[in-house]
Amino acid sequence: MRPDPILRIDTAFFWEACERGEFVAQKCGPCDILWHPPRPMCPKCHNTEKEVQQLSGLGTVVSWCVAVRPQAFGFEESPIAALIELDEGLRFVSNIEGVAEEDMQPGIRVQVAFADTSGGKKVPVFKPVSE
């Protein structure tokens, strides 16, 4: 089954939000800039007071791949991994569910959902935007 996320001091807020079904990003309040991956300090103003902002959960597929050999560790079957450009301008690696491999292409509009991990945690995955 899907491996658990790795919680680190500077990034635990993200994975803990997933537990609540929230898809979030680190935000520097004074700069009003979102950052991903999270980091201990805003690189613009050096503020260490981090806000957490809920994201729309909408994005567009930039690129995708499927590990054939070796198969993805921990999964029964390798998932479709994708780089997604979020509507807020951040990029995020996740999975695409509900699209057949042969139908994958850049530009597919997707929205966030949550998937369970082997240790009972949750991670964000993406599905096609329902018309």
Partner 1 sequence: MSKTNNQAAIVGIGQTEFSKDSGRSEQQLAAEAVIAACKDAGINPEEIDGCITYTIDNSDEVDLLRSVGCKELNYTVRLPQGGAANAATLYHAKNAVESGVCDVVVIWRAMNERSQYRFGQPTVSISPDANSSTFIEWCFPFGAQTPASWEALSCGQYLSKYGVTSEDLGNIAVLMRKHAATNPNAWFYQQPITLEEHQNSRWIVKPWLRLLDCCQESDGGVAIIVARMDKAKDLKQTPARLLSAQYSFLFNHEIISDFYEGDLTGLPFSERVTEKLIEDAGIAPKDTDVAMIYDNFTPQVLRQLEGFGYCGPGEAKDYIADGNMELDGKTPLSPNGGLIGEGYIHGMNNITEAVRQIRGIAANQVENVETAFVASGVAGAILGK
Query: Rule CB under 8 A: which residues touch partner 1?
Result: 2-8, 11, 36-37, 43, 62-70, 72-75, 78-79, 81-83, 90-95, 101, 104, 106, 117, 123, 125
16: enclosing H helix or E strand? helix 12-19
Task: Give the whole-angstrom CA distance, residue 18 versus residue 79.
Answer: 19
State which residue, 104 or 113, has the beta carbon closest to partner 1.
104
- Tokens describing residue 63: 């690129």
Distance CA 9, CA 90 (A): 21
Task: Tell me the two tokens of residue 65.
Answer: 């791949």
Q: Closest approach of Cβ 111 to partner 1, in Å?
A: 16
CB 20 within 8 A of CB 87: no
Give the residue with the Cβ less far from partner 1, 47 or 117: 117
Taking the least distance from each CB to partner 1, the nearer of 69 and 131 is 69
Question: Smallest distance from the beta carbon of 76 to partner 1, in angstroms?
Answer: 11
Minimum distance of partner 1 from residue 121's CB (angstroms): 9
